[in-house]
Amino acid sequence: MIFQTDAISKSFGQRLVLDQVNFGCQAGEIKAVIGPNGAGKTTLFKLILGLLRPDSGKVHWKAETERSVGAIIEKPSFYSYLNASENIRLFGKLQGHRINSEKVTEILVRVGLDPDRKDPVRNYSMGMKQRLGIAIALLGDPEVLILDEPFSGLDPMGIRSLSDLLTDLAKEEDKAIVISSHFMDQLIKFCDQVSVMSKGSIIVEGSSYDLLSADPKTYRLEGPDLLSSDVLKELDLQVDKHRVNVRSDQMLMQDLLGKLLEEGTVITACIPLLAIEELMKPEQ
């Protein structure tokens, strides 16, 4: 592990925000921390980075890595009246890095931004701002990248593009990348490991493959006209014309699909959903 937390806890006043959390990441690995707002994700990241002190427990770093960390916490901040190249130069200077024009170009190209663009970053899309934030976090070529909600505000194309960038950084440059989100579907398809947080604790942890392979509890049925189905009406579900979510195990879902087929209802898709609400329920 490049870093590992050892039962860290943190309270603000009487409110316990983190409760004995063990968490770590390896080189070349993308690890996701998923949970609703208020679960403790940002506090965990601040403790890892040393921006907060734990009430108990420790954060252990591989000795040569502790200072080799780039991060974006909450959202990237820039000098909005400067262009991307000027922001890179200024942040590089603030961090003590000597950055020439060639290096600025290299960094911007690395994250998919045009180094020749001269307009101020206030004109940039959310996706471009996220990329610029990552470019600044990559100054000094850190071994670890910690990104808090990097997909916030992005459209599907922006999410896919940023996912590809992070995958390249992990797999081609052997960086350890930790990212957070409160949306499961944004992260689980490209992350290696997933930790699900709720109320300050990690309640589910495992590989993305294992979580995706878990027996789902909810399925989405899609079809051209589901409102006319008597079978679905009997289940008292919230049905729109083209889709409905059904809570069911695999065997009952097979029976339901058989009944829909018998009555002549056309089903074009049956999609198992890995709902974060399900994962956040501790095992009884």
Domain co-membership, 30 together with 148: yes
Q: What are phi and psi of 10, to 5 degrees?
A: -150, 135
Q: What is the pLDDT, as a whole number, of residue 66? A: 60
CA–CA distance, 190 with 162 (Å, rounded to integer): 11
CATH number for the domain spanning 225: value is 3.30.70
CATH number for the domain spanning 157: value is 3.40.50.300
Q: Tell me: the pLDDT tens digits for 142-201?
A: 999 999 988 887 778 888 888 899 999 999 999 999 999 877 766 777 899 999 898 899
CA–CA distance, 85 with 88 (Å, rounded to integer): 5
CA–CA distance, 114 with 125 (Å, rounded to integer): 13
CA–CA distance, 220 with 240 (Å, rounded to integer): 12
- At residue 284 the predicted structure's pLDDT band, cuts being 50, 70 and 90, is very low
Tally of domains in the chain: 2
- At residue 21 the predicted structure's pLDDT band, cuts being 50, 70 and 90, is very high
Q: What are phi and psi of 7, to 5 degrees?
A: 50, 50
CA–CA distance, 20 with 96 (Å, rounded to integer): 35
Predicted structure pTM score: 0.75
* Residue 157: DSSP 8-state: H
The answer to whether 158 and 131 have CB atoms below 8 angstroms apart is no
Q: Which two tokens stand for residue 191?
A: 């992350």
Q: What is the pLDDT, as a whole number, of residue 65? A: 63
Q: Tell me: the pLDDT tens digits for 72-95?
A: 998 888 999 999 999 999 999 998
Quote the percentage of the chain above a pLDDT of 70: 91
Quote the percentage of the chain above a pLDDT of 90: 51
Q: Measuring CA to CA, which residue among 61, 46, 47 is closest to residue 1? A: 61
Q: Tell me: the pLDDT tens digits for 228-274?
A: 899 988 887 777 778 888 887 767 888 899 999 999 999 988 877 65
CA–CA distance, 119 with 112 (Å, rounded to integer): 16
Residue 226, domain extent:
215-279
Please identify, among 193, 212, 231, the residue that sits at the C-terminal boundary of a domain: 212
